[in-house]
A and B are shown apart, each in its own frame.
Chain A
Amino acid sequence: MILKPISISFIIHLIFITLLVTGLPSLDKYDDMSVPVIEIELINTSTMQEDSKEDDLKKEEPKKDKKKYSSTPNIKPSMRSDESSKMNVVDSQKEVALNEKMENEKKTEKKSEEVFSIPTEKPSLNKINDKLLTNLNYNEEKEESKKVTALLDKFPDDRDVGEEKENQLEKSDSPKKNNSITSDEISNMKRQVEMCWNPPRGVRGASDQKVQVLINLNRDGSIIDVTPITRANNDIKKIAIESATRAVKQCQPYELPIDKYELWKEIKFTFDPRNMLGG
């Protein structure tokens, strides 16, 4: 045939350029619209994953020493189980692997509990809620839970090993699926922030104080900075922004799958108290 290499290449390049041009404007719109929780579909390449994995490996050494999960030990169990439930869908092979992993985790956790004879019930999200109310008690308990965390510092290692397994599996199987932030992961994070958000109330139009903030996260889930998107044009708005800022700061670090760091390194939060405070 005569229309050969060059024509094909030309056509493909044309497609590429068109997509590039038409694809970009939609991004701006995307940012402007305050769309409720957005479904994130993903589309990624294994190259990217390799990158992040490499980063992980590089960081692994110092990580062991850092007690970076220390302030959110309570959130861990539920996060993990949620994650696993989502992953169950992926494929049977992985499921088995994960279940094993989960069980291992549980064992470690149990062990640590026995050793330190810490209250048998696992702290849960709701627990935190109750504890915050009885502040003083909470302080004491928090100290205890810190000990647990200290012991659980193995945890990240387990996790990394698990991820490595996952990565291997993914390479061979369906690479697409695990690369989106799942709705479970989003709702976990959402729940975590909700725990820390104490919106101003009792002010005129308290329920109308919808504010947006943009957060930048480190790989370990801690916050780099918080930038208000909403403008503080009056005292009440200012206080609403402050309460949103406190919420995201108090709840850090966030436990998100590190292999998807690129997807969550920047998050836009919309805080809308209408539901809670009534119209």
Chain B
Amino acid sequence: MKKYAIHYLLLILILFSFQTNKTFAALEIDVTEGNIKPLPIAISFVRDIQNKDEDLGINISKVIASDLAGSGLFYPINPKAFLEEIVSLDKKPNFNSWRVINTESLLTAQVYYEENDRFRIQYELWDVVAEKALIERELFTSINKWRSVAHVIADAVYARLTGESGYFDTKIAFIAESGSKINRIKRLAIMDQDGYNPRLLTTGNDLVLTPRFSPNSEDLVYLSYRNGQPQVYIYNVDSNQTYVVGSFPGMSFAPRFSPDGMKIMMSLQEGVGSNIFEMNLSSFEKRRLTNTSDINTAPSYSPDAKNIVFESDKSGTQQLYVMDSQGNNVRRISYGTGSYSTPVWSPRGDYIAFTKISKGRFMIGIMFADGSGERIITDGYHNEGPTWAPNGRVLMFFRESPGEKGGAMIYSVDVTGYNERLIDTPGFASDPSWSALLH
């Protein structure tokens, strides 16, 4: 009996050891929490020994670092911590010396000067943990466009590491303000997304308001008091030419381009009310979209041009409504306490950004296109007029400080409400409008 018992035991043992080996081939672990932090990145350009003082590469790398840091998603590591100096792009970086300084990615680049004040820049993005190249590219342009080149590279890095398209190579149209609050001088202006290269487009003799970029970023549509009556005009940024969009008995205002750039939507004043119209820029035909004696204004197309969001006070207070592109099927989408205005549809199509006024405070918020999921992004004495970055991830708006000395400044903020930053403008600035990507 004993003998058989041992036999039996042995069998069981073999059986079990067999099972253990197989069944538990892979231990499984679910990771549901992480350590959310800006992605560390090292930016190392091959140094220009001949032009130490005016090192184009260093200047470009600084702009890239500032763009990436400004997004709140990246943490550019201080070059002083670098252990390896990149001297050539021909050989792979020593990944270990980059991992040691705790970076996850490394951007290397080299600038080559070419004839006619042009230059070539070769750049590579590395995942230093996986030790593989993520981007290998080259750009060629004139030297005076070096800031744009930096933004283009920053966009490429952003896109490759986040999976979302970038927004750095863009411009902002805005109203530059000067003079006393009682008699403010307002000028049409544009600048780079980071506040650099500001350029005034009008003299300030005529009051101008609410500029908005065309989809190709070549034109601005805006409101001007140029000929006495407030009317909608188009300004071509390259030619500096201005022309009026139709002539109407009352004020035309709150203009915005359609997603295809072929039409302009705006409000026309009709007696005590204002209604929304669409103007075809090739046929100059006018199409009515609302027909009430209320204030219907601030229209904005969905990116697929199938729907229009606008504000109306038909309920007694300003609220947001969505209608189809024929002006039918009007439905109210804002139901929170307070009033809602200046709706802008995100270029992604998911969210609508707005200004909300409640209990004497002005907030910037977002909600889904059906009115659900309302979220306040910033709240204060006076925040107004959101505009979307082309990737729908970042908003700009203006914040007005109270009192005689007060004025408007432009801020950018993440859709999550984090990473609010003041955009540096020469003076007070309001009514920002974000262009599409320029490259």
Interface residues of A (CB under 8 A from B): 5, 8-9, 12-13, 15-16, 19-20, 23-24, 26-27, 30-31, 34-38, 40, 42-45, 47-48, 129, 132-133, 135-136, 138-139, 142, 181, 186, 189-190, 193-204, 214, 235-236, 238-240, 242, 245-247, 249-250, 262-264, 266-276
Contact = CB atoms under 8 A, between A and B. Distances in A.
A235 B27 CA distance: 28
B20 interface: yes
Given A27-B25, A202-B164, 11 more contacts: A8-B4, A23-B23, A31-B26, A43-B20, A132-B40, A136-B80, A190-B29, A194-B33, A235-B163, A262-B21, A268-B27
B37 A133 contact: yes
Chain B interface size range: 35 or more
Nearest to A201: B36
B185 interface: no
B35 A196 contact: yes
A30 B27 CA distance: 11
B28 interface: yes
Interface stretch (B70-78, B109-117, B203-211, B250-258): B70-78
B104 interface: yes
Given A135-B77, A139-B81, A266-B26, A194 B31 contact: yes
B127 A242 contact: yes
Nearest to B83: A139
B36 A193 contact: no
Given A204-B348, A239-B163, A129 B27 contact: no
A263 B36 contact: no
B360 interface: no
B77 to A, nearest CB: 6
Nearest to A15: B11
Contacts of A235: 163
A169 B35 CA distance: 40
B26 A135 contact: no
B102 A138 contact: yes
A240 B161 CA distance: 10
A20 B26 contact: no
Contacts of B161: 200, 239
Nearest to B131: A249
A265 B415 CA distance: 42
21 contacts: A23-B23, A27-B22, A37-B28, A40-B24, A43-B19, A44-B16, A44-B17, A48-B20, A135-B102, A139-B101, A181-B27, A201-B36, A201-B73, A202-B415, A214-B26, A246-B130, A266-B27, A269-B29, A270-B30, A276-B33, A276-B36
A189 B437 CA distance: 43
B414 interface: yes
B49 to A, nearest CB: 27
A54 to B, nearest CB: 16
A25 B216 CA distance: 60
B27 A267 contact: yes
B22 A270 contact: no
B360 to A, nearest CB: 30
Contact of A38 (B3, B28, B101): B28
Interface of B: 3-4, 7-8, 11, 13-37, 39-40, 73, 75, 77-78, 80-81, 100-102, 104, 127, 129-130, 160-164, 348, 350, 393, 414-416
Contacts of A23: 19, 23
B7 A19 contact: no
Contacts of B160: 239
A267 B130 contact: no
B127 A246 contact: yes
A194 B26 CA distance: 19
A135 B81 contact: yes
Nearest to A143: B100
A276 B20 contact: no
Given A31-B26, A133-B37, A203 B31 contact: no
B75 A135 contact: yes
B32 A276 contact: yes
Contact of A271 (B15, B17, B31): B31
A268 B30 CA distance: 8
A103 B51 CA distance: 61
Contacts of A5: 3-4
B11 A263 contact: no
Contacts of A201: 36, 73
B29 A263 contact: no
A112 B29 CA distance: 34
A91 to B, nearest CB: 23
Contact of A263 (B22, B24, B34): B24
With most chain B CB atoms within 10 A of its CB, the pick from A129, A190, A195, A201 is: A201
Given A194-B35, A201-B73, A276-B36, A249 B29 contact: no
With most chain B CB atoms within 10 A of its CB, the pick from A26, A36, A204 is: A204
Contacts of A16: 11, 14-15
A73 B424 CA distance: 45
Nearest to A44: B20
A163 B338 CA distance: 68
A260 to B, nearest CB: 10
Contact of B30 (A27, A31, A37, A195): A37
B34 A36 contact: no
A262 to B, nearest CB: 7
A37 B30 CA distance: 6
Contacts of A239: 160-163
By Cβ-Cβ distance, the 6 closest A-B pairs, closest first, are: A236-B163, A197-B34, A239-B163, A268-B26, A246-B129, A203-B163
Contacts of A15: 11
B75 to A, nearest CB: 7
B31 A272 contact: yes
A198 B23 contact: no
Nearest to A250: B129
